[in-house]
Structures are given as structure tokens and as C-alpha cells.
Amino acid sequence: MPDWGNLLAQDASRMVEALRSFPEQIERALGLACRVPNNLQGFKNVVVLGMGGSAIAGDLLARFSTVPVVTVRDYELPTWVNSDTLLIAISYSGETEETLSAFREGLRRTRRAVALTTGGALAALCEERDIPWVPVPPGFQPRAALAFLLFPLLGCLSRLGYVRDDPARVAAALRGLRDACVPEHQANPAQDVAQTLFGRIPVIYGAGITVPVAYRWKTQINENAKQPAYWAELPELCHNEIVGYELAGKVFAQGIVLFLRSSFDHPRVARRVEILKEVLSSRGLAFREVWGQGETALAQALWLLYFGDWVSFYLALLNGVDPTPVRPIQELKKRLKETAGSG
């Protein structure tokens, strides 16, 4: 067994503290829901603008909202965005150029708009245009601030009757998982899954409510553990990716499929997973399953997401890296800034 006590020294920037307090952050974040004004009502669809760790909130919102929600990760908006659209800009730093560009364009088409940010150019733009914005606490990595980027919106849409499960019940459901996954809990389930993934290339599969969660696992493994990871969704992958298994044993021997499972999986998806497991086994390809826990679909999705955050944290420690820094992202943003306005 790895010496987790020693490996914890890799976490120089203390990502563990942000992870540990996730359930309490959710409770605090629900308190911010009242900062999203009610007078935005009357919208027919919601467009969430964001990138990376900020955008995932939009994907999750889309799965649990009863009004159409689309996440836009781009400089430009779809043509159909109009005055019936509620525009939500999410940028932890408030400085993300794609989000700012799309938000500026959106404000020319609708007056229903709100932003979530710690400040920066996004907050300044909101102040200038008299657009409400929800202040998100500073001091986190964007991906570690998910509670504050998602739950004010879930709370607000829930108040308007647009969320299918009660977001107020999620935090309690996650406390048990936290207690099971903290480093003080020796040989814990997140460490176990991290050990299974160590030295391999994870391919995370989700379906329905776990689709955004599978993507979050992939990005958390990328950013925390600093290694490649991929994802795909069922049932779609049964129509293409499955063919790639034919030669995977030769060219992707390090691959491992991880199925994110939920009791809310469509029965035909559940059947597909069973068949896929047989196909993977027959080709000598590795796989593992993780089942979400909780009474509601929202609770199970967040359970799996939080578990994945812990797994990526422990995988970072096994990889010998500090989970927090994301130097390649910062370097790229810096280089783009140097050429701002030139193209």
C-alpha cells in the first residue's frame, strides 16, 4: 500500500482543504441563491457562458433543470439566442476572454442576464451595464469552486420551480462520502480507485445524469493529476467507440474504462453496460465500475462527482505532483494576452 501520509506532502498548495469542505461550501453557496434576482423571470431558455472549471456548472444545470439549458464554451453565441433567453456568464476569475466576448454579444440580444464571478473584467462589465452579479468567494482554483458556481443557480432555479430534485438535500448526502475519503481514513475507497487508475489512461464513461460527471472526472484527472484522460457517453459510444476496441489491446494497452453508474440509468443503458463489459473482457481490456449513492438523481450525480474529485486528488499524489497548479493553462492565457487585439 502507498504511504499516503508521506505522499500528502505533494499537496503543497492544500487542495485537500477545498475538497474537505465541499459539503459546507454547498450550504454556503445555496445561501447565495438569493443574490440571483427574481425579476429575470419569463425566460424560455437559459444559456450558460463559461470555459473549463466554470463551464461545468452549466452542464450540470442542464441535466437537472426543467427548462432548456445550453452551455456555450465559445467566443460567439448560437443564432437563436434572443430576448427570451436568460444569459448566465460564469467565470471564476472574471477574466476569461471567450466568456467576456460571448457575454458582450449576448447583452446586445437580451436584458435577462446575470453573472457569477469573483470580480475582474466580468464584474466591471456588469457594473457598467447595471447587470446583477453574484460575488463568488476568492481563493479557490476555479474547478475547486464548483459549489459556488453551481448551487446559487440550482437554488435560484429551484425557487422558480425549474429543478427536478431538491438541491438543499445534497450537502447532507455528501458528508458521509467526505468522511470516507479524507486522508485520515486509511485505505479509503477513493485511494483504492486511484491506485487502479495509476499508470493507466482512464477513459470515463457516463450516461444521462452522469454525462457531465464523466467529463468532470476527465478534466479533474487532467488538471489535478496532470495526465491524459478521456471520456465518452452512452449510448452514443456503442455506435462508434466500441469499434475502436478491436485494436485497443495493441495500441491502448494502458487504457482502462471506468463506468459511472447510477440507479437512474435507463434500463437499456444498463443492459448496454453489461454487454460492453463482456466485450472489454473478451479483448483483455481493463474496466471498473463506480456506483453513485443517494436518494435523488441530483444527489447521485454530485456523489459521483465528489468521489471523482477525491480520486483525481489521490492520483495526483501517486503521480508525485501538486494537485493545485495548472501552469500550462496560465502560460497559454499569458501568451494570448500578449497578442490581445492583434487578431
Per-residue binding string, ligand PA5, 106-145, x by CB under 6 A, is -----------------------------------xxx--
Residue 42, Ramachandran bin (φ over 0: left; ψ between -120 and 50: alpha; else beta): left
Q: Which residue bears the cell 483504492? A: 192
User: Cβ 316 to ligand PA5, closest distance in Å?
Assistant: 14
Residue 124, C-beta contacts closer than 8 angstroms, at least 6 positions apart:
94
By CB under 6 A, residue 54 contacts ligand PA5: yes
User: Cβ 118 to ligand PA5, closest distance in Å?
Assistant: 8
Task: Choose the stretch contacting ligand PA5; rule: CB under 6 A; options: 12-20, 92-100, 284-292, 296-304.
Answer: 92-100
Give yes or no: 233 in active site.
Answer: no
Report d(CA 70, CA 44) in Å as an integer: 12
By CB under 6 A, residue 58 contacts ligand PA5: no
The three three-digit cell numbers of residue 27, written as one number: 450550504
Report d(CA 318, CA 330) in Å as an integer: 24
DSSP state, residue 2:
-
By CB under 6 A, residue 52 contacts ligand PA5: yes
Which entry of 27, 97, 277, 333 is annotated as an active-site residue? 333
User: Cβ 191 to ligand PA5, closest distance in Å?
Assistant: 23
Binder of ligand PA5 out of 223, 233, 241, 265 (CB under 6 A): 223
Report d(CA 47, CA 59) in Å as an integer: 10
- CA distances, 256 to each of 3, 22, 127, 290 (Å): 24, 28, 48, 13
Residues with catalytic roles: 223, 239, 333
The contact set with ligand PA5 (CB under 6 A) reads 51-54, 91-93, 96, 99, 141-143, 223, 326, 329
